[in-house]
Amino acid sequence: MYKNKSNKLNNLLKNSLIKLPTPININLFWNLGSMLGLCLMIQIISGLFLAFRYTPDIILAFSSINNIMNEAWYGFLFRNIHANGASMFFCLYIHVGRGIYFKSFLFKNTWNMGVIMLLLIMGTAFMGYVLPWGQMSFWGSTVITNLISSIPYLGNYLVQWIWGGFSVNNPTLTRFFCIHFIMPFLILFLTIIHLFFLHMTGSNNPLGINSNVYKISFNPFFSMKDLMGFLFLFIILIYIVSFKPYLLGDSDNFILANPLITPEHIQPEWYFLFAYAILRSIPSKLGGVIALLMSILILFFLPLLNLSKMKSNQFYPLSKVFFWLLILTIILLTWIGMRPVEEPYILIGQILSIMYFFIFMINPLFQKLFDKIIW
């Protein structure tokens, strides 16, 4: 009986991992999923070693980071890998972009699970940014958590509950550390569910057609491509960690958090800047929070907004223009997020924010119109 169960498990692993039927025409953009899995494992392992020496206390947190960097055996390496690995992790934006372009959102269960994971990863990254307890960590957490106070009636109570007091203080840091430590394991669990849904439906492909006739075994053809992707990721990460470890960070975070001195420009990490720019562009605080949330939550509605017959944007010439216009808009919003809150950056940010949501709404209508003309 035990032998039969073992054989069934081995067959399941072979069919789902080694001999998984995979569309023959998928390109390098389909390697990003496995690269993100590798990034997750790098973050979990490096974070575990950092947690051995980190102290979640507002008096000791900053000095514990210095201790890791200067006293712990290869502590600087683990810390730089973890900090820059977070930036590498957000190549998941390219993963999402590929899903939008090739309409992977038509596989609703896989897509929705992926969006949930994106939200959790963003939340985990935000809490991790607070832990060094530098100036930008403190003031960034103060500004972002204060946004919850815009919720009618309950806002102020929720903010104080999250803070554990009347300001960002020791209870806040402690609970952020606990959540930041636990969340990657939840994300790992959701990744398994994400893969389960993916293997149920099979991978999408650039043509968006049923490719059951044109599938080959995942191993060795695509596993070798994944290994090349891993090598590429390691080369970039090792280069940044070795030669430019603070390229993607903020210099203000090398200063101990001081509630009495506000930095000249408060801004989050680069991977949040586009959403931060949308938040700043709305004059109303509550409206800004709603726009901030919708900048990500709109991904949930893509399956509902799809009105076209074709299962890939590449068959619609205007949709390709809209897609690259969306990419340009996100890049410009990221740039606006780094600029001071003054003209002309305020006006440019408002125009770009409108464009961001407008593209998501107008693209399905043009595809529907194109279908009517062609078909």
Contact present, 278 and 353 (Cβ < 8 Å): yes
Q: Is 265 a catalytic residue?
A: no
Angle at 98 between CA 306 and CA 369, to 5 degrees: 30
**Active site residue: 64, 211, 269, 295, which one?**
269
Cα gap 276→267, rounded to integer Å? 8
Phi/psi at 134 (5° precision): -90, -175
Angle, helices 218-243 vs 32-51, to 10°: value is 50
**22 has which bridge partners?**
216
Among 181, 145, 151, CA closest to 52: 181
The answer to the question of whether 265 is labelled as a binding residue is: no
**Active site residue: 64, 141, 203, 353, which one?**
203
CB-count exposure of residue 279 (10 Å: 0-12, 13-18, 19+): buried
Among 85, 112, 26, CA closest to 249: 85
**Active site residue: 19, 34, 150, 199, which one?**
199
**Active site residue: 137, 226, 250, 308, which one?**
226
What 3-state DSSP class applies to 215? strand
Q: Is 199 a catalytic residue?
A: yes
Amino acid in position 57? D
Q: Is 343 a catalytic residue?
A: no
**Scanning the structure block, which residue is given the tokens 């530098």?**
134
**Active site residue: 19, 108, 215, 225, which one?**
225
What is the C-alpha R_g of the chain? 23
- Residues 6 or more apart whose Cβ sits within 8 Å of residue 197: 107, 109, 110, 113
**Scanning the structure block, which residue is given the tokens 């340009």?**
328
**215 has which bridge partners?**
23
Q: Is 342 a catalytic residue?
A: no
The full DSSP string for 173-192 is HHHHHHHHHHHHHHHHHHHH
Q: Is 252 a catalytic residue?
A: no
Q: For residue 234, give both structure tokens.
A: 């390691």
Exposure of 148 in the CB half-sphere (CA atoms within 13 A): 14
Amino acid in position 162? I
CB-count exposure of residue 180 (10 Å: 0-12, 13-18, 19+): buried
Cα gap 19→112, rounded to integer Å? 26
Supply the residues annotated as catalytic: 199, 203, 225-226, 269
Q: What residues form the annotated binding site for a ubiquinone? A: 199
Q: What residues form the annotated binding site? A: 82, 95, 180, 194, 199
Q: What residues form the annotated binding site for heme b? A: 82, 95, 180, 194
